[in-house]
Amino acid sequence: MSAKPQQESRQVQVLIVGLGPAGAACGMALAGSGLEVLALDRAHFPRDKICGDALPLGAQTLVQHLGLLTTSPELQCRSSLEERGSVRARGYDQGLTGQGWLAERGAILSSTACLQTVRRHDLDHWLVERCRERQLPMEFGWQVESLRWDQAIQRWQVRGRIRTREGKPLKRFAITTPVVVGCDGAASAIQRQSNPARPRSLQALASRCYLTPHESQTSSAQAQPRSRLHYLWPGESTYAWAFAVPGGFNCGVAAMVNRHGDLPIRGRDLMERTRQWIQTLNHDWDHSAVEASHHNTSTIQTMAIPVIHPTTAPQSSAGILLAGDAAALVDPHQGHGIDRALESGALAATVIRKGVAMGLAPAALSERYQQRLAVRVRGWQQQWQALELESMNDTALIKALSRPR
């Protein structure tokens, strides 16, 4: 008879599940706090993460504060941004936009290299290394499978399986903790299992494919690359992008959900539009300038994105704090995802650190976090007005943009 798999058992004060930007921000803030913290991720790093790779201004500020520019400048790429068909571009034709943009063949071009990108493969690995420098206890290949609240001891019982980088099962684990910070992404096991009654978040659809220059084109590449953001389908909140990243371009199509939860297209249409967008890029770049990685459409990957919504109301069980994608804080239309993950992860750490010092129970910690996160969410929800504008015709758009504020 074969021996039963060995089980790894731990008891900690705080368990962080997921080591993307939200989990890393939370972990860095709690490392050295005196609390017994464990952070785990089901993947082994470095690992890929489907993303547009663009950093909004808030995320740029946060990662630069952590030292990305000084320690690893080769991971970053800056480019100008060309917009076509967007509210900003359409408003420019009517003289309604501010400074910083130049008209160019029916589109607008930023006058500076305003777009900063870092491949998520590199960014997440870099953040994990910063956690390691701060001696945050971490485990990789640990996948949560069950979560149960033990009323008798007022603790969560978290169980799962440990796997090698190749996916081979090693053994099981069991962790006892009063506080779980769920940073485990769009398909959050922590969110699902801690509060099954919580309404499912609205989902946007997006695709991604990396395009890389031919070697013959590398020497003639522009000193400052140009990224693109094009609204090619009038009347839809759907857009295509090609963002310059180190070594090539991150390209894809995003279909945004509306206030009623409806998507303008389905997954099959998303793939077809992505292929059309890649063909358009290849044509614009003289066919030979860019090639799809591995030359096949299997490199086009798709994802569902849990988006923030005007009716989003953060809610979770006692001792559960959800951050980043697990809390449905993403706004792909405005490019907000990484910044809100970093911000919410750091907020969770602040609430935990101060709350434990005050002697707050797990339920009180969760309530305090939800109250503080709700304040920020209300501000983020107001940005949905811009999404509504994208679907307007030019007459309605001019009227809306001209309305006194």
pLDDT (tens, 9 = 90+) of the chain, 405 residues, equals: 455 558 999 999 999 999 999 999 999 999 999 999 999 999 999 999 889 999 988 888 888 888 888 899 999 999 999 998 877 777 665 555 556 788 887 788 888 898 999 999 999 999 999 999 999 999 999 999 999 999 999 999 999 999 999 999 999 999 999 999 999 998 899 998 987 766 666 788 899 999 886 543 444 445 678 999 998 887 777 899 999 999 899 999 998 876 666 777 888 899 999 999 998 888 877 654 454 443 333 488 988 888 776 555 556 789 999 999 999 888 877 788 999 999 999 999 999 999 999 999 999 999 999 999 999 888 877 665 555 555 555 455 445 444 554
Domain count, the chain: 2
Question: How crowded is residue 357: how many other Cβ atoms within 10 Å of its Cβ?
Answer: 11
Angle ∠(37,26,41) on CA atoms, nearest 5: 70
- Are 158 and 172 found together in one domain? yes
Q: Whose CA is closest to 40, among 159, 149, 133, 154?
A: 159
Is the alpha carbon torsion for 82, 85, 86, 92 positive or negative?
Answer: positive
Return the pLDDT at 284.
Answer: 79
Element (H, E) at 11: strand 7-11
Is the residue at 2 inside a domain?
A: no
Is the residue at 57 inside a domain?
A: no
Within its chain, how far is the Cα of 27 from the centroid? Answer: 17
For β-strands 76-84 and 101-104, DSSP reports them as unpaired
Q: Whose CA is closest to 55, among 342, 273, 303?
A: 342
Query: Is residue 352 classed as helix, strand or coil in its secondary structure?
Result: helix
- Are 196 and 207 found together in one domain? no
User: In angstroms, what CA-CA distances link 192 with 26, 78, 178, 199, 320?
Assistant: 21, 38, 18, 10, 11
Return the pLDDT at 311.
Answer: 53
- Are 235 and 319 found together in one domain? no
End position of a domain, from candidates 255, 271, 306: 306
Return the pLDDT at 219.
Answer: 42
Q: What is the CATH number of the domain that holds 88?
A: 3.30.9
CA distance 370 to 373: 5
What would the DSSP string read from start to end of 188-203? -HHHHHH-TTSPPPPE
Angle ∠(235,237,241) on CA atoms, nearest 5: 115
| Bridge partners (DSSP) listed for residue 103 | 108
Return the pLDDT at 98.
Answer: 56
DSSP 8-state symbol, 187: T
- Are 144 and 280 found together in one domain? no
Is the alpha carbon torsion for 18, 20, 26, 29 positive or negative?
Answer: positive
- Helix-helix angle 338-358:21-30, to 10 degrees: 30
Within its chain, how far is the Cα of 299 from the centroid? Answer: 20
Return the pLDDT at 9.
Answer: 96
Specify whether the CB–CB gap between 242 and 281 falls below 8 A: yes
Residue range of the domain that includes 237: 77-116+202-306
Q: What is the CATH number of the domain that holds 148?
A: 3.50.50.60
Angle ∠(238,307,58) on CA atoms, nearest 5: 95
Is the residue at 65 inside a domain?
A: no
